[in-house]
Amino acid sequence: MNPDAQELESRLDTLPGDDSPERVDLLVKFARAVSIDDPSRARSVSREALEISRRLDYEKGVAFSLYHMGFGEYLRSDHEKAMALLLESEQMMKSLSEENGLGLIRGIMAGIHLSLGDYEKALSCSFEALKIHRRTGDRHNEGWILQGIGGGYQEMGDHARALQYHMEALVMFEELDLDVGRARALSGMGTVHQSLKEFEKALEYHRQSLDIFRKAGNELGESRALNDIGVILQEAGDFDRSREHHARALELRQKFGNKQAVSTSLINMGKLLVAEGKPEEALDQILEALDLAEEIKAKPRIFQAHRVLSDICFDMDDPGAALVHYKIYQQVKEQVVGDQANSRLKNLEVGFEMEKAEQKSEISRLKNVELKEKNDQLETLLNELNEAQAQLIQSEKRAALGSLVAGLLHEVNNPLGAINGVNDVSRRCVQRIRQFVAQDHPEVLENKKFAQALDILERDQKVTREATGRISQIVQSLKGFVRLDGSVVENADLNQGLQHTLTLLEHEFHGRITVVTEFGDIPPLLTNMQELNQVFMILLKNAGEAIEGRGTVTVCTLLENDRVGIEITDTGVGMDPETQAGLFEPSFARKGIRVKSGMGLLAAHNIVVNAGGDIEVESEPGVGTSFRVWLPVRP
């Protein structure tokens, strides 16, 4: 037991046995102090505090007792029961204006959503908690929220942001001299480097984390570090030591009864057995892990288990079963990704249920005006979530495009250079042949077939030079579009960015759409050119799609009153006022058996607004549409 918990237990022993708010407060603090090291004791103490608080009608005691009971159920992976307790506690915290308590609740809700694979909802709750803790000056809990946000970005595959938040948490925990926090932050940093295949660095962080957890007597943290080290040792082919670490991690996790952590250890042990060529032994481990994951509805662990089952069935010469498990793996994984990147429908459903529960409990105490204010706040929150979703989609697209272009440049430039080199050598050889023949054997040039052959070679060399030049132009335009060699914020040439984007759309416009460019003399802007290129792509593609048959797209840039303007006008079908009114709102349209999300213009609007600018639209049915983007010269 840590020193704080020992001191609290001593104080409890000296208190009279009678019920009192003072005793409840001490019980709540004690439950918090032992929640990680002795979760069963924490649950028992929280229940005792709740019973006393209800007898005394002590609302603050009830609210914090419910919170700690919810935290205990979260540690046991009973997410449904945990959420119910936390929602009940949240309503009381609001009525008592207990901001710190609200921040604690939002932090645990973030952990629940993360476990269920609802990454966007998890980050939303985390940032709400972060705002509260910063407002109240609670640096201890701010550090834990930063650590949780890092874990959320890690699950989403955003390694750069994950590392950033883990490092912020580490700095804060070092300032607070909180060893367990330092260990968790180091563990998070190790996991990021592990995902980046930087195994030596990852192993160094995880071993530091393990040493700190062991010195602090934190077995739950120790199990996490052991599990992570076991995974790295497996990657290195050290199966014996990997098995030792996984077995010890599993033993500790079973002791605490954390079903999600147990399922993770079982999956990793199953992967190890598959790597050792023991699919039959791995089968029992993975099936047990799958049962636990399905029981607690942890989608990330469910699809991981099916992925390993697919490998096991393949190794056991059962390709049919392997295919079935692989299809389930893909389906569940797509559900998790789709919830966060494509539709948000599942998240909104969960959000509505939580918000309806909050509203029902508040209707009895709110006047009509107060209730209206609450509904307005809810609408604002949903709009913010829509905007965040659109930005997430676009950032994922940009990241994917950046990776694609980086590979494309590497694969194309080398053979392109070889072609140019060979073509240049060939051109000089033909020139020397012509000179040699003209000087020493001029009569050969009178041979029509010989002269024709030289002419054809020279003509083919010219065609090759023009073709490779065209390829280079396209590759450079693509490179400029995604800004592989640019910083996030830079002095950018908007005219050049528009030209790069038009080059990439040439194959869509060619033969059908005439592009007219009227680029003005505009200064470079200090901005994120990669994001603005995305705006240009969205607006130009929309302009092209609005034209049925042949038409014209006009692109202009100008400088007006310390603002740079970009105008994109099409001769398309135009829009009625009703369509224009909902232009920058998310939408969903059915196309055959598929549902297509319309987030492009919303994302473009958000990018421009975040850059300090604005978008204007003018449109008339049957005439066409003009989009004008205004950006400040001085951001």
0.85 surpassed by pTM = no
Is residue 394 very low, low, confident or very high in pLDDT (cuts 50, 70, 90)? low
Average pLDDT over residues 245-255: 89
Is 595 inside any structural domain?
yes
Mind listing the pLDDT tens digit for each residue in 533-585? 888 988 998 999 999 889 999 999 999 988 999 999 999 999 988 888 878 77
Kindly report the number of other CB atoms within 10 A of residue 246's CB atom.
Answer: 27
Is 1 inside any structural domain?
no
Domain check: are 493 and 587 in the same one? yes
Q: Which residues are registered as beta bridge partners of 518?
A: 556
Is 604 inside any structural domain?
yes
Mind listing the pLDDT tens digit for each residue in 508-517? 888 889 999 9
Query: In whole angstroms, what is the distance from residue 50 CA to residue 66 CA?
Result: 7
Domain check: are 528 and 578 in the same one? yes
Is 626 inside any structural domain?
yes
> Whole-number mean pLDDT of the chain?
81
Is 416 inside any structural domain?
yes
CA distances from 626 to 342, 545, 575, 620 (A): 28, 14, 11, 9
Can you tell me whether residue 127 is helix, strand or coil?
Answer: helix
Query: In whole angstroms, what is the distance from residue 596 CA to residue 598 CA?
Result: 7
Return the pLDDT at 375. Answer: 67
Domain check: are 390 and 447 in the same one? yes
Domain check: are 404 and 477 in the same one? yes
Is residue 102 very low, low, confident or very high in pLDDT (cuts 50, 70, 90)? very high
Structure tokens at 601: 């213009």
Is 405 inside any structural domain?
yes
Residue percentage of the chain with pLDDT more than 70: 82
Tell me the pairing of strands 563-570 and 624-632: antiparallel
Domain check: are 403 and 545 in the same one? no
Judge residue 207's burial from the number of C-beta atoms within 10 Å of its C-beta, 0-12 exposed, 13-18 middle, 19 or more buried: middle
Return the pLDDT at 467. Answer: 75
For the ranges 318-322, 330-334, 387-391, the one whose mean pLDDT is highest = 318-322
**Total number of domains constituting the chain:** 2
Domain check: are 579 and 474 in the same one? no
SS3 content of the chain, % helix, strand, coil (to 5): 75, 10, 15
> Which domain-ending residue is among 457, 485, 513?
485
> Which domain-ending residue is among 427, 453, 485?
485
Return the pLDDT at 119. Answer: 78
Mind listing the pLDDT tens digit for each residue in 351-393? 444 444 545 555 554 555 566 676 677 777 666 666 655 555 5
Query: In whole angstroms, what is the distance from residue 416 CA to residue 499 CA?
Result: 23
Query: In whole angstroms, what is the distance from residue 100 CA to residue 129 CA?
Result: 9
Q: Which has more confidence, 85 or 489?
A: 85
Domain check: are 587 and 553 in the same one? yes
> Which domain-ending residue is among 430, 463, 485?
485
Give the contacts of 303 (CB within 8 A, at least 6 positions apart).
328, 329, 330, 332, 333, 336
Please tell me the least confidently modeled range out of 343-347, 437-441, 445-449, 465-469: 343-347
> For residue 556, what is the domain's CATH number?
3.30.565.10
| Cβ–Cβ under 8 Å, residues 269 and 312 | no
Domain check: are 413 and 445 in the same one? yes
Q: What does DSSP assign to residue 587?
A: E
| Cβ–Cβ under 8 Å, residues 195 and 208 | no
Give residue 22's Cα distance to chain centre.
44
Domain check: are 437 and 498 in the same one? no
Is residue 487 very low, low, confident or very high in pLDDT (cuts 50, 70, 90)? very low
Is 301 inside any structural domain?
no
Domain check: are 501 and 457 in the same one? no
Mind listing the pLDDT tens digit for each residue in 25-64? 988 888 888 877 777 888 888 999 999 999 999 999 999 9
| Cβ–Cβ under 8 Å, residues 339 and 347 | yes
CA trace torsion 474, 475, 477, 481 (10° rounding): 130
Is 585 inside any structural domain?
yes
Q: Which domain holds residue 427?
A: 386-485
DSSP annotation string for 43-56: HHHHHHHHHHHHHH
Domain check: are 468 and 539 in the same one? no
Residue 198 has pLDDT above 50, yes or no: yes
Domain check: are 426 and 480 in the same one? yes
How many alpha carbons fall within 13 Å on the CB side of residue 347?
Answer: 29
Residue 596 has pLDDT above 50, yes or no: no
E strand or H helix at 629: strand 624-632
Give residue 439's Cα distance to chain centre.
70
Mind listing the pLDDT tens digit for each residue in 112-167? 888 887 877 888 899 999 999 999 999 999 999 999 999 888 888 888 889 999 99
